[in-house]
Structure 1
Amino acid sequence: MFNALTGMGGGGQVNHKAANNANTALYTTFAVFGILSGGIYNLLGPRLTLAAGCSTYVLYAGSFLYYNHYQHQGFAIATGAILGIGAGLLWAGEGAIMTSYPPPHRKGSYISLFWSIFNMGGVIRGIIPFVLNYNRNDAASVNDGTYIGFMFFMSAGTLLSLAILPPRKVIRDDGTRCTNMKYSSVSIEATEILKLFMNWKMLLIAPAAWASNFFYTYQFNNVNGALFNLRTRGFNNVFYWGAQMLGSVGIGYIMDFSFSRRRIRGFVGIGVVAVLGTAIWGGGLANQLRYAHHDLPDKLDFKDSGSAFAGPIVLYLSYGLLDAIFQSMVYWLIGTLADDSETLSRYSGFYKGIQSAGAAVAWQMDSHNLPSMKQLAVNWSLTTVSYPLLLLLVMLAVKDEEKNVEVEEGNVEVETKMQATITSTEPFFAADVSKA
């Protein structure tokens, strides 16, 4: 729901400043609590961590309802800071579940499944503001009903998070269980979190983490928000988040099934993302040459025909595709570094913390009117720099999967015992039938 809200550009407001400042506060606290929340997850478990995190999103959406009437951005900024705390909790819990609950050979598929469900919300929420604001194509901001709808669905998500199973109750399709989560202590978690900053694996992931939310500001405000009118932004987001669903499924297949060896799949996945990313940012450059930050063209409407509308909407949905394949690929890499939820919650928290620090900088760059062309150049450079470092991570840290010898040996042992039992009882049954 939050994705759909920010995807409208400026949180649905014609003036981006309130949303930019709120998002800066959000990602500043998110950067801190993203890193800390891996430890908090290990203290509280998945249910309490997720429920506490989800509840803060409702307050954030409500702040824009308030802003619609009073135009005071102080409340939006304060709730943005609170949401940063909650987002850290939500994403640390989500990251631990997404990377530790699946069997090792299916992590890419489970990540793509999560990403599809995650972005289905964005698709639905793109439809709702489009419908509610259909007859308001010249409006400055979305109506109250749009924000109330966001709050309703966010509240439902908060309650649903209480239904998440803890690791000890999860039995996978192959009969294996997740690692039994041992609740940690504050001192242990503090020590383990500090160690992340000296972990060479996390340092190789850090540039990709910094880049992975940095581009949202440019895409939402300087493409969707700058080129399209209000109702068309919601229309566009249906395709933006829909493209994410398709992209996550595609990259999930590559990371799990393209080759038998896991390391080769890692190299191929990074290569595919690098090629597509370069092509999409190249298209973004061609589009950006048509307008400047201070000299925007007339707003496009979804009813416009011809290349004037077709080119920018194809570019925008391509940005959604790139976001999905880039982040799903990074999550897959994180998932290959460990199997237990305690370690992966810390790794996921570190990833989200660095990611959020980058996003805080990006929102302030736009708030200070950095030219769109420079924003595009920074985004393209950040994603490009991350690819060779991720390849190095695969080379040094990712190991090929080993067959579950213990399970196979256990199955053979059970079958042997069953065969022995049948053999030993055959004379008994034969004698018994003879007597009868």
Structure 2
Amino acid sequence: MSPDPDKDVEAVAVHSPSGPLYYRVKIGPFRLPYFASPIVQLLYVAVVFFLCPGLYNALSGLGGGGQLDATVANNATVALYSTFATTAFFSGTVCNKLGVRITLTLGCLGYSLYIASFLCYNHTKSAAFVITAGALLGMSAAVIWAAQTVIMISYPKESQKGKYIAIFWAIFNVGAVIGSLIPLAQTVNSEESGAVGDATYSAFLALTALGAIMAMFICNASKVVRTDGSTITLMQHPTWRSELLGLWETLRTDWYITALFPMFFASNWFYTYQFNDVNLARFDTRTRSLNSLLYWCSQIFGALAWGAFLDMPHLKRKTRARAGLLALFVITMGLWGGGYAFQRTYDRQSAPQQQLDWTSKGYAGPVILYICYGLFDAIWQTYIYWTLGAISNDSRKLAILAGFYKSLQSAGAAIVYRIDALKVPYMNIFASTWGLLAVGLVFAAPVVWTKIENHSEPHDESEGKGGVTADGTAS
């Protein structure tokens, strides 16, 4: 019988932890996991994301950052994703140098500033403040997502990666769900279209500030210990030169990763179309809030179901990877084919006269389509994260791959938000979205078919590369 691959992968450093971070509270016959365990740290960071990126998503889901005219929000988002794309390539270094706790705390503050800029905009119409806040948020988001990605796909065992991704994505999107409830409750009795009020922005601001405070108490990776006693080994890069060399080394030895770049690039492209060119364009304010709520609810169910599928124990990992890609191709063609039929019914000129309320005749079809768009987002993002986790167990490499993913994702988003701000026809944006998704799947197929094995190598990819572990010892 072959050895348990999970045990091989986990065998990095084993010790018996002691201290308050490892104390297990007993409730009846059950003992809760200790605070510094991978699952608790995942849940904790998911709640932080629930309060910060989750509420940002809720605001974005309303279209135009909650404003009636999306131009200022679009320009701020272009600035956001431009700095995000640039910073993300180096976000692993920042996270390694500062540690997960400081990285997450600083990252959360960017979300608070961004929401505060819209609150200010309601009174001053200062577009410059909103755009500057967007640029700063791009840098914050780059590092916060780097920390999250490493936690989500390097802390769990191989057999649990889909589960960890699904749990994170579900809790994270609860933030967007609750965030969508706030404007819905405030606009439920109004059928008019307009910007969201000060109360909504103030509530979002308070919750993101709470997320920043919570981030101050998360454990750094050096304190995290798995249930088998093994610890997490992370590489540190003390200079920008060494980080650039690490990026080059990954591209040189794992050149095939470039075939996933189109899939990365497309992964945020569709948000612009869904939020601005469907939800903002075709629905009044209260219905936009309801649609946003349903969109993020569907993400929770989509992530949990897809994560469970990707971890199915009776199927080999190769089989799950290939079946997942084929299923994703079928879903993409079917869903966006339906989206094409809907997009043919309106354009930028006719949309203002065709806005729907949830009481309007013909609302059912568009809202079902929008719910399916939410499911699709969860499935697409979960599959990318799972694929990265299936390629390697080495946290150093995963940090670099996550940087590629978030950088290209953000570059795509910056471009398409600018295209939307230039008032390009909706159909053109729709066509570019569907085309990029199809191209991404086609280019990813060779990687999925040839590079994903049933088990990854143990954590030996960092050996001999002159780094430092998370606790500061030489590797």
Confirm or deny a common fold (TM above 0.5).
yes
Instruction: Indicate yes or no: 2:289 matched with 1:234.
Output: yes
Match of 1:291 in 2: 346
Match of 1:303 in 2: 359
Aligned partners of 1:210, 1:335: CA distance in 2, in Å? 18
| Map 1:65-144 → 2, pairs under 5 A | 65-144=119-198
Cα drift, residue 390 of structure 1:
1.9
CA contact (8 A) 2:92 2:400 kept: yes
CA contact (8 A) 1:229 1:299 kept: yes
Aligned amino acid, residue 80 of structure 2: L
Match of 1:224 in 2: 279
| Map 1:156-167 → 2, pairs under 5 A | 156-167=210-221
Aligned partners of 1:397, 1:50: CA distance in 2, in Å? 32
Counterpart pick for 2:321 among 259, 263, 266: 266
Aligned amino acid, residue 179 of structure 1: I
CA contact (8 A) 1:178 1:340 kept: no
Of Structure 1 and Structure 2, the greater helix share is in 1
CA deviation profile, 1:393-432 (whole Å, cap 9, x unmatched)? 122221112799xxxxxxxxxxxxxxxxxxxxxxxxxxxx
The verdict on how the C-alpha distance between 1:402 and 1:24 changes in structure 2, with shifts beyond 3 A counting, is closer
Aligned amino acid, residue 271 of structure 1: L
CA deviation profile, 1:48-77 (whole Å, cap 9, x unmatched)? 111111110000001111111121211100
Cα drift, residue 165 of structure 1:
2.3
Match of 1:426 in 2: none
Match of 1:409 in 2: none
Aligned amino acid, residue 355 of structure 1: Q
Instruction: Indicate yes or no: 2:262 matched with 1:207.
Output: yes
Aligned amino acid, residue 270 of structure 1: L
The alignment yields a C-alpha RMSD, in angstroms, of 1.7
Cα drift, residue 101 of structure 1:
0.7
Q: Which runs of 5+ in 1 are unaligned?
A: 405-436
Equivalences, count: 401
Match of 1:5 in 2: 59
Aligned partners of 1:115, 1:218: CA distance in 2, in Å? 21
Match of 1:319 in 2: 373
The farther-off stretch of 19-28 and 136-145 is 136-145
CA contact (8 A) 1:46 1:164 kept: yes
Match of 2:35 in 1: none
Structure with max Cα Rg: 1
The farther-off stretch of 10-19 and 175-184 is 175-184
Aligned amino acid, residue 401 of structure 2: Y
Q: Give % identity.
A: 38
CA deviation profile, 1:177-227 (whole Å, cap 9, x unmatched)? 343234331232232134455542331111011100001000000100011
The verdict on how the C-alpha distance between 1:403 and 1:69 changes in structure 2, with shifts beyond 3 A counting, is closer
CA deviation profile, 1:347-367 (whole Å, cap 9, x unmatched)? 111100000000000001101
Alignment partner of 1:257: what SS? coil
Match of 1:172 in 2: 226
Cα drift, residue 38 of structure 1:
1.5
Aligned amino acid, residue 248 of structure 1: A
Aligned partners of 1:70, 1:4: CA distance in 2, in Å? 23
Cα drift, residue 258 of structure 1:
6.1
Aligned amino acid, residue 212 of structure 1: S
Match of 1:29 in 2: 83
Instruction: Indicate yes or no: 2:311 matched with 1:247.
Output: no
Match of 1:61 in 2: 115
- Relative to the length of structure 2, the TM-score reads 0.81
Match of 2:237 in 1: 184
Aligned partners of 1:19, 1:111: CA distance in 2, in Å? 29
Counterpart pick for 1:276 among 331, 336, 349: 331
Alignment partner of 1:163: what SS? coil
CA deviation profile, 1:239-294 (whole Å, cap 9, x unmatched)? 10011111111111111106431111100111111111111101100100111122
The farther-off stretch of 245-254 and 391-400 is 391-400
The farther-off stretch of 202-211 and 134-143 is 134-143
Instruction: Indicate yes or no: 2:439 matched with 1:385.
Output: yes
| Map 1:273-422 → 2, pairs under 5 A | 273-296=328-351, 297-304=353-360, 306=361, 308-401=362-455
Q: Which runs of 5+ in 2 are unaligned?
A: 1-54, 459-475
CA contact (8 A) 1:38 1:347 kept: no
Aligned partners of 2:456, 2:120: CA distance in 1, in Å? 55
